[in-house]
C-alpha cells in the first residue's frame, strides 16, 4: 500500500476550506463518508456600517445640501398643478391660426337643415274601442243624463286626428308609409272625419230658430181634398203656397229611385258627375231629384243582416259577411266604384229586424262596427246617415209623433256611439226633433211650414227640399281641411 493511501485511510477527519465570500473562506470539517459530495455554504459577511432603515412617518428627513424628499402623493399633486398651468397659459405666437372659412352656401344649408321642422308622428296610442263603447252605454243607461247632438264627453276625445292627417297626406301624395302607419290609418280612418262632422252640426245649429207656428209636418188625407184646386196628386196634400197651377215639379219627386249595381257596372260615364253614393233603405229609398246625377242612389228595401252585440265586450265577435249581410252589400258598392276612390259613401241606418228585443243603442253599435269593417278596405269616408222618419198607410198624428220621439233618441245615441267607435254618424236635419226649454220647436232657416208626410204613406216636396238642402251642404263640408284625390279613381 502506498504512502498516499495510508495517509487517506488513517485520517478519520478531513478538512475542507469553503469559500464564504470574495474575501474570506471558512473551513468546515466534514465526516469522511461525505467526501463523495461537496457543499458550498454561503455565510453573509458582517456589515462594516449600520444599515439605514427609512422612517415610516410623514416627517421629511432633512439632508444637507439637497431639497427635502417628497412622498408619492405630494409629488403627484405638484406635477398635476404644473400641467394645468402649462395648459392655461396663452400661446405666445406671432401668427395665430386662422379659423377655417365656411362658404355662405354651406352655412345656409346647415341652417336650413337645423331649423327645418318636418311633421313627425309621435308614439301612437291605439284607441280602446271596447272601453269607449262601454262608457257610452253606461252613460245612456242613466235616466238623469241629458245630452244633445253636439255634446262630446271628455272620455270620447279624439287625439288621433293629427296622426291620421299626416298619414292621409302621405297617401294622397303617394309617398311611402310604413306598414304600421298604413294599418293604423286604414283601421281608424273614421276618426279623421269626426271633427268635420262636429263643425257641420255647429254650422247648422247657428241657423235654427224657435217657432210658435203649430207643427204641420203630418197631413191627414181626406177624400174631399181631391176636388180642391190646389190639391197635389203627387204629394197627396193641398199646398198652401202656389204661384202656378199644379202639379208644378211635384211629379218629379219620385224620379230618383234606386239604380242597379249591374247597370252601373256596364258604363263608367256616371262617374264623371258623381260626387257620392248613397245606400238608402226607408227614408232615403227615393232621393231628391235635383241630386240625381250628383249622389248616385243604390238603395234597397232588403233587410241586410249585421251583428247586434248583447254588450260592449261582444262588439268584436265574428262579423256577418254572408251574401245577404250589410257588409257584403257595402263591399259590393266599394268594388263598383273602386277601393282607392275618395268618393264618400252614405249608408242609411236601420234597425236589424232579426233582433227586435235588443236596445236601439246596441243596434247602432253593431251597425257602426259593420261600417268599420268596410272602411278598412276603402280610401274614402263611409258615413252613416240617420234619415227622417216617414209614415205608413193609415198612420195617425200620434203614431208619427212617437216615431219622431224615437228618432230623437236614435240621433243622440248615434252621435255618441259614432264618437266612441270612430265612425261618422250624423242625422239629416229635416224634422222637428229639437225643442227649447219652453217647448217651442226649433226650425232651420231653409224650412217652409208645409207637410212632410201624409196618412196615405207618401212624402211631399217639402220633405225632399229639406233633404236636398242638407245633402248639398254636407257634401261640400265633409272634406274640409282633409287632403284627397278629386275626381273618379
DSSP 8-state class, residue 339 = T
- pLDDT number for residue 476: 92
Which segments of 372-481 are extended strands (E)? Answer: 382-386, 425-427, 441-443, 453-454
Facing residues of 237 across strands?
232
Rounded-to-integer distance, Cα 305 and Cα 17, Å: 126
Determine the average pLDDT of the residues in 413-431. Answer: 94
Residues 175-226: tens digit of each pLDDT: 888 888 888 999 999 999 999 999 999 898 888 899 888 778 999 888 888 8
Phi-psi region of 278 (alpha: psi -120 to 50; beta: other; left: phi over 0): beta
437: exposed, middle or buried (Cβ count in 10 Å: 0-12, 13-18, 19+) = exposed
At 329-388, the pLDDT tens digits run: 999 999 999 999 999 999 999 999 999 999 999 999 999 999 999 999 999 999 999 999
* Residue 469: pLDDT band with limits 50, 70, 90: very high
Higher pLDDT, 78 or 94: 78
pLDDT at residue 22 above 50?
Answer: no
- For residue 75 the three cell numbers come to 409629488
Q: CA 40, CA 478: separation in Å to the nearest integer?
A: 114
Three-state DSSP state, 254: coil
**Which of 81-95, 302-316, 329-343 shows the lowest mean pLDDT across its residues?**
81-95
Q: How far is CA 342 from CA 11, 126, 295, 298, in A?
A: 131, 24, 14, 18
DSSP letters, 371-397, are: HHHHHTT-SS-EEEEEPPP---TT--H
Amino acid at each position: 500500500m502506498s504512502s498516499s493511501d495510508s495517509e487517506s485511510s488513517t485520517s478519520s477527519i478531513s478538512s475542507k476550506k469553503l469559500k464564504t465570500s470574495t474575501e474570506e473562506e471558512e473551513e468546515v470539517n466534514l465526516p469522511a463518508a461525505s467526501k463523495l459530495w461537496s457543499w458550498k455554504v454561503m455565510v453573509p459577511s458582517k456589515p462594516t456600517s449600520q444599515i439605514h432603515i427609512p422612517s415610516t412617518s410623514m416627517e421629511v428627513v432633512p439632508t444637507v445640501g439637497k431639497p427635502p424628499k417628497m412622498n408619492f402623493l405630494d409629488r403627484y399633486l405638484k406635477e398635476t398643478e404644473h400641467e394645468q398651468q402649462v395648459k392655461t397659459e396663452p400661446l405666445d405666437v406671432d401668427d395665430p391660426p386662422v379659423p377655417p372659412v365656411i362658404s355662405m352656401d354651406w352655412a345656409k344649408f346647415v341652417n336650413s337643415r337645423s331649423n327645418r321642422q318636418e311633421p313627425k308622428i309621435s308614439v301612437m296610442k291605439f284607441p280602446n274601442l271596447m272601453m269607449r263603447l262601454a262608457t257610452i252605454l253606461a252613460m245612456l243607461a242613466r235616466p238623469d243624463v241629458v245630452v244633445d247632438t253636439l255634446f262630446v264627453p271628455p272620455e270620447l276625445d279624439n287625439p288621433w286626428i293629427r296622426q291620421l292627417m299626416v298619414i292621409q297626406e302621405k297617401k294622397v301624395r303617394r309617398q311611402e308609409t310604413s306598414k304600421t302607419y298604413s294599418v293604423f290609418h286604414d283601421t281608424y280612418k273614421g276618426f279623421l272625419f269626426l271633427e268635420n262632422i262636429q263643425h257641420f252640426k255647429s254650422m247648422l245649429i247657428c241657423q235654427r230658430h224657435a217657432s210658435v207656428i203649430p207643427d204641420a209636418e203630418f197631413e191627414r188625407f181626406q177624400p174631399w181634398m181631391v176636388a180642391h184646386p190646389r190639391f197635389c196628386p203627387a204629394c197627396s196634400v193641398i199646398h198652401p203656397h202656389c204661384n202656378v197651377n199644379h202639379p208644378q215639379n211635384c211629379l218629379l219627386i219620385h224620379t230618383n229611385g234606386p239604380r242597379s249595381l249591374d247597370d252601373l257596372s256596364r258604363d263608367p260615364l256616371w262617374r264623371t258627375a258623381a260626387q257620392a253614393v248613397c245606400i238608402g233603405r226607408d227614408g232615403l229609398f227615393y232621393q231628391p231629384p235635383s241630386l240625381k246625377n250628383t249622389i248616385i242612389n243604390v238603395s234597397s228595401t232588403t233587410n241586410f243582416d249585421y251583428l247586434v252585440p248583447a254588450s260592449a265586450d261582444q262588439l268584436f265577435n265574428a262579423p256577418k259577411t254572408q251574401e245577404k249581410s250589410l257588409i257584403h252589400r257595402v263591399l259590393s258598392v266599394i268594388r263598383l266604384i273602386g277601393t282607392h276612390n275618395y268618393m264618400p259613401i252614405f249608408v242609411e241606418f236601420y234597425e236589424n229586424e232579426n233582433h227586435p228585443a235588443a236596445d236601439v243603442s246596441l243596434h247602432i253599435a253593431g251597425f257602426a262596427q259593420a261600417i268599420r269593417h268596410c272602411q278598412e278596405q276603402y280610401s274614402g269616408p263611409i258615413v252613416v246617415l240617420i234619415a227622417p222618419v216617414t209614415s205608413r198607410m193609415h198612420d195617425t198624428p200620434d203614431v208619427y209623433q212617437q216615431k219622431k220621439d224615437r228618432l230623437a233618441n236614435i240621433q243622440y245615441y248615434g252621435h255618441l256611439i259614432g264618437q266612441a267607435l270612430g265612425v261618422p254618424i250624423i242625422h239629416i236635419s229635416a224634422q222637428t226633433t229639437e225643442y227649447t226649454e219652453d217647448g217651442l220647436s226649433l226650425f232651420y232657416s231653409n224650412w217652409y211650414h208645409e207637410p212632410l208626410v201624409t196618412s196615405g204613406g207618401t212624402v211631399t216636396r217639402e220633405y225632399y227640399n229639406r233633404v236636398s238642402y242638407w245633402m248639398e251642404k254636407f257634401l261640400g263640408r265633409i272634406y274640409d281641411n282633409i287632403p284627397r284625390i278629386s275626381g273618379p279613381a
